[in-house]
Amino acid sequence: MVNGLEVREAVLTYPGGPTAVDGVSLELPAGEVLALLGPSGCGKSSLLRAVAGLEPLTSGQVRWGGDDLAGVPVHRRGFGLMFQDGQLFPHRDVAGNIAYGIAGLTRAERAARVAELLRLVGLRDYGARAVTTLSGGEQQRVALARALAPRPRLLLLDEPLSSLDRSLREHLAGELRDIIHATGTTAVYVTHDHDEAFTVASRIAVMSRGRVLQADTPERLWRAPASEEVARFLGYGPVVDAVVADGQVRGPLGAVADWAGGVGGEVRLALGPRALVPDDDGEPVPVRGWRVRRGERELDVTLPDGQGAVVRVPADGAVPRTARVRVATEHVAVVPR
């Protein structure tokens, strides 16, 4: 029995529609944060909705602490929900929204809990504000506070930051992680953004076409993606043909030294965002264009097999027409061809 969430062989086929979840099994011990990561339409939200009880499973089980939740309605599961648009109540002020799920407390207890949550989400003086006057990021903080107020045993978040602009999203993802961590909340976090998954989660399940391709800690997933598809979802790319022989991976840019991985023979070499490094003794690759990002110059280069890739170099100095690069072992993954 898992002290936490267990999904067993879950299948969800919509009436007259697709099989959105196609035999998913997952375990999430209490206190951990699981990201469901995958492209649009892969079934992440459907799985989350089934866990919440919003959508009945066609077959399989959702369990908490060993108990099958099949007959338990949404509001009796003790789960909190947060969606892409906070779905706040426009006629209630901020405090009224946060207090929504804790009507059972005394007035004083409620006020104390609301104040505690306002502090937690960084909106200390916002209690009396009309929610319609808040920014998108502030609204999502209120939605988070509202979901956490009843101390849910599981928090379910469906793309909670995807309606926000990029810099706010990055900032709030870090805050969300800190808040979820500080409250010891167990959570499932649906996202199509690998950076967000890596920021927030202690476990990541990569989904595609209704199935889980691989589930593991972020560190182990990043070190050893099981397939090219997983590697690409995690943020690797481009992926090039290579051959493993004599403890070396040989690709279009020469050998990547000292490969101790398990895969051998003809493989694919997935390049991480920092896999190509400038090296005077490296292979020459033509530079197609460049930009400056966060103080670094990013060169767009063409690999020998014709694929585009990025090399990061210091922002000063002239832009070369040809860059010499090598592949850094610690920033690649080898996957089966």
- Sites of contact with ligand ATP (CB under 6 A): 14, 17-18, 20, 38, 40-46, 192
- Residue closer to ligand ATP by CB (options 46, 139) is 46
CA distances to 49, 89, 187 from 110, in Å: 28, 18, 24
Smallest distance, Å, CB 318 to ligand ATP? 43
**Rounded Cα gap, residues 328 and 288, in angstroms:** 22
- Residue closer to ligand ATP by CB (options 21, 333) is 21
The β-bridge relationship of strands 33-37 and 187-191 is: parallel
Smallest distance, Å, CB 197 to ligand ATP? 13
Smallest distance, Å, CB 86 to ligand ATP? 17
- Residue closer to ligand ATP by CB (options 99, 157) is 157
Spell out a b/e string for 41-55, using b for 16 or more CB atoms within 10 Å of the CB, else e.
Answer: ebbbbbbbbbbbbeb
- Residue closer to ligand ATP by CB (options 169, 192) is 192
**58 in Cβ contact with 12 (< 8 Å):** yes
Q: How many residues does the chain have?
A: 337
CA distances to 63, 274, 327 from 238, in Å: 39, 11, 12
Q: How many other C-beta atoms are found inside a 10 Å radius of the C-beta of residue 296? A: 12
Smallest distance, Å, CB 90 to ligand ATP? 24
Smallest distance, Å, CB 46 to ligand ATP? 3
- Residue closer to ligand ATP by CB (options 162, 183) is 162
Q: End-to-end distance of the chain based on CA atoms, in angstroms?
A: 37
